[in-house]
A and B are shown apart, each in its own frame.
Chain A
């Protein structure tokens, strides 16, 4: 835990007139699980592409294990593994052939190759399917095979771009088990991007990004604490009356929701008790909820993270091929 695994300073990337990444800086310790959380188009994928040497930054520096990504890309490439948002497997090769090619490309010593490949396949529970063409695999199996591939050369840092997008909840949970085991067993540093709040909860620390900037960076618990307020939802037949009461008596702004309204206050439990003992419109129900990362994002940016336009590039190509 001496040197930082990832060290980024004032990173910027512009495409023509658009500034996708606007001065991002952070550092990730070795063995840490670090997440980039933000909506689509926030600059997450651009950042990950710069870190894994696929894109040149417009300005700023990024160092991985002390190596600069722009001046020594091949040294960096040897130390990292990358799992892309869309599967990057050769689907006309078998699972084993995909890993073998990877082992050769990353110069895994010939004597170690087969053992490493078998170990990686067993790690993700795909050893029995090693002779099958990957085109016959489900989405979750493909993702697991990609994780296995990422392990074959024992990278110091593993990058994962939206690792569980498009997977069912069960497969997602299984993928996370594998990722946590990975850190446990090999001490691998994990850097991931996501727009799922529950996925971000798995990280040691999260950088919340929006419009190419980091708007907050801390542990999930600390971020939620910083919001400080609980979310109260009240069901009532008279939302207008209740809203007026909240505004006039407590200075609390509320937003209409289904069957009533919701609002954020400090100390939600105590506030409910106070509310119940005042003269107020009739309530049909009331609930209080601790802030989630969603609320953190909302309070920082005034917007919610929505999975808008989450259809992946691959799905788009598939659709195009089908139309032909």
Chain B
């Protein structure tokens, strides 16, 4: 069982590393986002004085955002493999459906970790200052967050027959999750309704935990944030497994 999960995870990793273009894109995308958001927004966002500078404030948000996008779109491989037939080979194999989903979730979040690690490595070049040990401690949080996101992607993918369909639903889901997470700006000053939505968004807790670990600047207790991230990922993984089981090849 574990060997099958490992073999399937390894398959996705081999393909990711073998695809030069995908690899280069995922290594350069964090750089672009740092440039665009770091310098583009710096002038217009006012942070409370005494706290971190804007670029440092932004980096944990970008790290979480990188995971959100990369991990979510990694789930498109399910649509791809179903359309091109490979999924059928897995579905008739004596492998529990749960093992296939587990391997997918692990692979999708692993590739996202490569990207987010790039973000954290490159950020100091743009003047960001944060605790390297804190960033290291934030990686497991980001990984678990990525697993939840990928599970959500699988839930969407299991119902989609086309790449376009997957893309449009995912964008519809990703944007509110991203913009209402506090990744780009402090959420303290938001109107009540929006603030409520931020509190209901699991990504807010992932961002806050990472920011807390990197900068020591947080809104929620770390235990609460980690609890929300782990809890929501577990629930999403269970739902993904159910959606996958119900899917017809």
Write the residues of chain A forming the contact surface with B, with a CB cutoff of 8 angstroms.
49, 52-55, 74-75, 77-78, 80, 82, 84, 86-93, 97, 100-102, 104-107, 149, 313-314, 317, 320
B11 A93 Cβ-Cβ under 8 A: yes
The residue from A53, A74, A90 contacting B11, defined by CB atoms under 8 A apart: A90
The residue from A86, A92, A149, A317 contacting B18, defined by CB atoms under 8 A apart: A92
With A93-B11, A97-B11, A101-B7 already in contact, the answer to whether A106 and B84 are too (CB < 8 A) is no
- Among all A-B residue pairs, the 3 with the closest Cβ atoms: A88-B85, A105-B93, A77-B94
The distance in angstroms between the C-alpha atoms of A181 and B105, with both chains bound, is 41
B85 A93 Cβ-Cβ under 8 A: no
- Residues on B with C-beta less than 8 A from A49 are 249
The distance in angstroms between the C-alpha atoms of A92 and B81, with both chains bound, is 11
CB distance from B6 to the nearest CB of A (A): 8
- Residues on B with C-beta less than 8 A from A78 are 94
The residue from A101, A107, A313, A317 contacting B8, defined by CB atoms under 8 A apart: A101
With A92-B15, A92-B19 already in contact, the answer to whether A105 and B85 are too (CB < 8 A) is no
The residue from A54, A80, A86 contacting B85, defined by CB atoms under 8 A apart: A86
The distance in angstroms between the C-alpha atoms of A160 and B165, with both chains bound, is 31
Is chain B's binding surface mostly helix, strand, loop or mixed?
Answer: helix
Per-residue interface assignment for chain B, residues 87 to 98, with 1 indicating a CB less than 8 Å from any chain A CB and 0 otherwise: 111111111100
A84 B11 Cβ-Cβ under 8 A: no
The distance in angstroms between the C-alpha atoms of A54 and B3, with both chains bound, is 23
Task: Look across to chain A and name the residue whose beta carbon is closest to the beta carbon of B85.
Answer: A88
CB interface residues, B 104-133, toward A, < 8 Å = none
With A54-B91, A92-B15, A93-B11 already in contact, the answer to whether A87 and B4 are too (CB < 8 A) is no
Quick check: is B14 within 8 A (CB to CB) of the other chain? yes
A104 B7 Cβ-Cβ under 8 A: yes
A-B contacts, 17 of them at CB < 8 A, read A54-B92, A54-B249, A86-B84, A87-B85, A88-B87, A88-B89, A89-B85, A90-B11, A90-B15, A93-B11, A101-B11, A102-B89, A105-B7, A105-B94, A149-B89, A313-B85, A314-B85
CB distance from A74 to the nearest CB of B (A): 5
- Residues on B with C-beta less than 8 A from A52 are 92
CB distance from A104 to the nearest CB of B (A): 4
- Residues on A with C-beta less than 8 A from B248 are 54-55
Quick check: is B86 within 8 A (CB to CB) of the other chain? yes
- Residues on A with C-beta less than 8 A from B95 are 105
The distance in angstroms between the C-alpha atoms of A167 and B246, with both chains bound, is 33
- Residues on A with C-beta less than 8 A from B11 are 90, 93, 97, 101
Task: Look across to chain A and name the residue whose beta carbon is closest to the beta carbon of B88.
Answer: A88
CB distance from B95 to the nearest CB of A (A): 5
B94 A74 Cβ-Cβ under 8 A: yes
Task: Look across to chain A and name the residue whose beta carbon is closest to the beta carbon of B5.
Answer: A104
CB distance from A97 to the nearest CB of B (A): 7
Task: Look across to chain A and name the residue whose beta carbon is closest to the beta carbon of B99.
Answer: A105
The distance in angstroms between the C-alpha atoms of A106 and B15, with both chains bound, is 22
CB distance from B186 to the nearest CB of A (A): 40
The residue from A55, A88, A97, A107 contacting B86, defined by CB atoms under 8 A apart: A88
- Residues on A with C-beta less than 8 A from B81 are 90
Q: Given A90-B15, A93-B11, A102-B89, output 13 extra A-B contacts at Cβ < 8 Å.
A: A54-B88, A77-B94, A82-B89, A84-B85, A84-B88, A92-B15, A93-B15, A97-B11, A97-B14, A102-B93, A105-B4, A107-B94, A314-B85
CB distance from A197 to the nearest CB of B (A): 26
- Residues on A with C-beta less than 8 A from B94 are 74-75, 77-78, 105-107
- Residues on B with C-beta less than 8 A from A107 are 94
Q: Which of B7, B18, B94 has the most CB of A within 10 A?
A: B94
Task: Look across to chain A and name the residue whose beta carbon is closest to the beta carbon of B1.
Answer: A107
CB interface residues, B 145-197, toward A, < 8 Å = 162
The distance in angstroms between the C-alpha atoms of A92 and B84, with both chains bound, is 12
B84 A53 Cβ-Cβ under 8 A: no
The residue from B3, B4, B84 contacting A317, defined by CB atoms under 8 A apart: B84
CB distance from A2 to the nearest CB of B (A): 24
- Residues on A with C-beta less than 8 A from B19 are 92
The distance in angstroms between the C-alpha atoms of A86 and B83, with both chains bound, is 10
The distance in angstroms between the C-alpha atoms of A53 and B162, with both chains bound, is 24
- Residues on B with C-beta less than 8 A from A75 are 94
B86 A90 Cβ-Cβ under 8 A: yes
The distance in angstroms between the C-alpha atoms of A54 and B81, with both chains bound, is 16
CB distance from A194 to the nearest CB of B (A): 19
CB distance from B225 to the nearest CB of A (A): 37
The distance in angstroms between the C-alpha atoms of A313 and B11, with both chains bound, is 24
The distance in angstroms between the C-alpha atoms of A55 and B11, with both chains bound, is 26
B83 A105 Cβ-Cβ under 8 A: no
A82 B84 Cβ-Cβ under 8 A: no
